[in-house]
Structure 1
């Protein structure tokens, strides 16, 4: 029993000693890291105002490689022509003044949280409207210095960027929004930005936008020349395709329904003036309200958009249906006036014939007169009836589909006002269907042709 107690006591003491040595080694390692930082960034040893040298210590421009990680795209505004994006922005360059001993590979990199301790590229976003850093819970930024002098700068930022849009094909359009990064003060003789090799731009998976879809993106260079020199510039072009299903449900189908409802007045009786007027005015006001609501969500532009063509033609059809009733009402009153005049003329002719017949009956007892059962061919009323029968009953020499279809209606309905309604029932739907065919074929094909991405 005594030897066993001694054994466990010795084992416990050895464990304490090894733990103490490990802690001391860690403390010494962290102390060495502090010494390395003081050695390379100490007072009088590093000046952050001087840019790094070029490749292999030459006097050429400093090379800074850029890569981005797009975390989210919040909003894309058509009215303000801008979009908001949150991204992780990274820069990497080599500063030979920051080389240090990695202690046989144990010290992989040094970490800083203050950007003013080392030289930083003067990059800015040229199409930025607003931007801010993220400081919750701690500032989302770090700087890593590697043993070979390579510096990695990473920060999370949110930006609101300008995005000039061409809305000629709205809402069947695609928009290209750019993210431009350039040097503010260093020319290409001192500083050059390059995209990181491999995959310079990454986008978070399952990126969802309310009314757009990010189809693809392209990295490119956009160096600019001014009076003070040439400045290095990088850009990312993001291609957004507008989701059409929203506009189909909210705009196109309701407009079609309003146009079709306005055609109901063609099937109402000509005497139903209040019903036809209220239907035409209601659909016209509803269509005007729909148009104004659409324009309120878009910026005022000097050119015609695809949605303007659609709403304008739909409004014209609704207004045309209201004008059609005005024409029908005028033709109906004109037909009624003509019918009254004909009736008066027939009454006068009948009265004159009756008076002449009475005169013949009382003429001479020797003369036997009797009214004919059938009117004389020269009788005006007989001629008028015969002409009407020839107009409505005589078949044309060449068959005509429209006339054949119209001849199926009774004679009373063959008035001008009724014929206008009958023709409108066919003409309006056919013209609207033809417009739809031209509209969709034109803008859908133009969408493919105008894609220059």
Structure 2
């Protein structure tokens, strides 16, 4: 056998020996982990019912628990039930002097447990929680890490449905503040204190998507509560949500404007088209009422007036006003039918009186000079002569000073006083008045609620 052959044989045996030593080392390392766990958590050595001592083993100081969380998603914000759902990774960290162990020269960084009942746990609960559950697919999403210095890190993934009292006065131009509150259930501040972890206690997943809201910002704070059994430590996170207005603009505001404008078409129809105008007014009124009831069905029955109530109420009033306008037009047209006949009778009576007066004057002239062959016209007419009175009226009219033209009277003069002219004037005035008043309402509405939205909503 050559020298090279012996070299490869020796190298092969050396590799086998090193692999076996490495495996033994791993086995020994895992055995050391087991021994450490048995050493610190063995029977009769650790009692999970006993609260850890304070800083540096001080018994009369409370246990400090540092909290942080990672918001994974916010699934819904319900206006009717006034609640929201969130999924988060919740973490707590505290120090337990009884769990210190040897890190084997830095090789053992931490020990991992999946059973939370093996060590003492803070009695934290979510005070505004309605529903909640843990995640157990495929395995329970929870772990506990024990570090060599006795520090304990507890992490769990949970889903919660939390109460969120809302103020809907500016709905849908509003902002809502929803809180996440955590407090101790049984330990008072003399025994247990919750603190936010320094640095970045609350983290939010990137590209958080909400269907009708935008998460603008959040703020961490403390909310300790005092009862007749003592003072309890409490933490809270305030989430500021801004409602997306584009959805409501397309679904509510623009359709309501269109219904109001459609109701104005009645002003341009002929006043004799009774079926068309009545059906148009009733249809728009019923559609607007249905729209209003649908909006209110998605909101809680609160005792105050919301911004959307003002909008729908005014739009409903405009549609109802258009229907009443036709009723007024129809009444005016029917009441004006008898006036032309009365006017004609009066004119005929005046004409007969004038003819009778002329005949009487002519007979008087013939009686005064019966021998004359012809009668001459008097140079000066009698003051009671109808022709003289007509001349005097014309002179008075020409002697009056000229008046300044009035724009409104000039515009209304296009509709002279005759049959149905009064109803026509009502339609023409409504064509201008209704759009102007509605535009003024829009100006006041948007300026009021948009400025209130900026001033009153403070974080």
Q: Secondary structure at the match of 2:317?
A: helix
How far the C-alpha of 1:386 sits from its partner, in A, is 13
CA separation of 1:264/1:372 partners in 2, compared to 1, >3 Å: closer, same or farther?
Answer: farther
Q: Which moved more, 1:323-332 or 1:53-62?
A: 53-62
Deviation string 1:10-61 (CA, Å, 9 cap, x unpaired) is 1111101100000000000000000000000000100000001111111240
Deviation string 1:175-224 (CA, Å, 9 cap, x unpaired) is 00000000000000000000000000000000010000000000000000
How far the C-alpha of 1:354 sits from its partner, in A, is 15
CA separation of 1:3/1:75 partners in 2, compared to 1, >3 Å: closer, same or farther?
Answer: same
How far the C-alpha of 1:285 sits from its partner, in A, is 0.5
Q: Distance between the aligned counterparts of 1:423 and 1:150, measured in 2?
A: 82
Contact 1:66 1:194 in 2 (8 A): yes
How far the C-alpha of 1:4 sits from its partner, in A, is 2.0
TM-score if structure 1 supplies the norm length? 0.89
How far the C-alpha of 1:422 sits from its partner, in A, is 1.1
Q: Which moved more, 1:408-417 or 1:51-60?
A: 408-417
Q: Distance between the aligned counterparts of 2:357 and 2:31, measured in 1?
A: 133
CA separation of 1:328/1:18 partners in 2, compared to 1, >3 Å: closer, same or farther?
Answer: same
Corresponding residue pairs, total:
453
CA separation of 1:412/1:97 partners in 2, compared to 1, >3 Å: closer, same or farther?
Answer: same
Contact 1:361 1:369 in 2 (8 A): no
How far the C-alpha of 1:368 sits from its partner, in A, is 9.6
CA separation of 1:265/1:30 partners in 2, compared to 1, >3 Å: closer, same or farther?
Answer: same
Q: Distance between the aligned counterparts of 2:393 and 2:423, measured in 1?
A: 21
CA separation of 1:398/1:19 partners in 2, compared to 1, >3 Å: closer, same or farther?
Answer: same
Contact 2:128 2:181 in 1 (8 A): yes
Contact 1:413 1:419 in 2 (8 A): no
How far the C-alpha of 1:405 sits from its partner, in A, is 2.0
How far the C-alpha of 1:6 sits from its partner, in A, is 1.6
The two structures, once aligned, show a CA RMSD in angstroms of 4.3
How far the C-alpha of 1:69 sits from its partner, in A, is 0.2
Contact 1:142 1:154 in 2 (8 A): yes
Q: Distance between the aligned counterparts of 2:233 and 2:54, measured in 1?
A: 15
Contact 1:64 1:92 in 2 (8 A): yes
Q: Distance between the aligned counterparts of 1:370 and 1:62, measured in 2?
A: 134
Q: Distance between the aligned counterparts of 1:258 and 1:172, measured in 2?
A: 22
Contact 1:165 1:175 in 2 (8 A): yes
Q: Distance between the aligned counterparts of 2:316 and 2:387, measured in 1?
A: 49
Contact 2:162 2:180 in 1 (8 A): yes
Q: Which moved more, 1:134-143 or 1:51-60?
A: 51-60
Q: Which moved more, 1:295-304 or 1:53-62?
A: 53-62
Contact 2:333 2:419 in 1 (8 A): no
Q: Which residue of 1 aligns with 2:342?
A: 336
Q: Secondary structure at the match of 2:10?
A: helix
How far the C-alpha of 1:145 sits from its partner, in A, is 0.1
Q: Which residue of 2 aligns with 1:18?
A: 18
How far the C-alpha of 1:404 sits from its partner, in A, is 2.3
CA separation of 1:4/1:444 partners in 2, compared to 1, >3 Å: closer, same or farther?
Answer: same
Q: Which moved more, 1:359-368 or 1:425-434?
A: 359-368
Q: Which moved more, 1:419-428 or 1:364-373?
A: 364-373
Contact 1:222 1:234 in 2 (8 A): yes
CA separation of 1:392/1:262 partners in 2, compared to 1, >3 Å: closer, same or farther?
Answer: farther
Give the structure with higher Rg (CA).
2
How far the C-alpha of 1:409 sits from its partner, in A, is 3.9
1:411 aligns with 2:422: no
TM-score if structure 2 supplies the norm length? 0.88
How far the C-alpha of 1:3 sits from its partner, in A, is 2.2
CA separation of 1:417/1:4 partners in 2, compared to 1, >3 Å: closer, same or farther?
Answer: same
Q: Secondary structure at the match of 1:220?
A: strand
Structure 2: segments with no counterpart, 5+ residues:
336-340
Contact 1:143 1:151 in 2 (8 A): yes
* Aligned 1:138-153 pairs, distance under 5 A: 138-153=139-154
Contact 1:169 1:306 in 2 (8 A): yes
* 2:441 corresponds to which of 417, 435, 440: 435
Deviation string 1:137-187 (CA, Å, 9 cap, x unpaired) is 000000000000000000000000000000000000000000000000000
Contact 1:144 1:151 in 2 (8 A): yes
Structure 1: segments with no counterpart, 5+ residues:
none
How far the C-alpha of 1:379 sits from its partner, in A, is 11
Deviation string 1:391-425 (CA, Å, 9 cap, x unpaired) is 99999834433222222345558822111111111
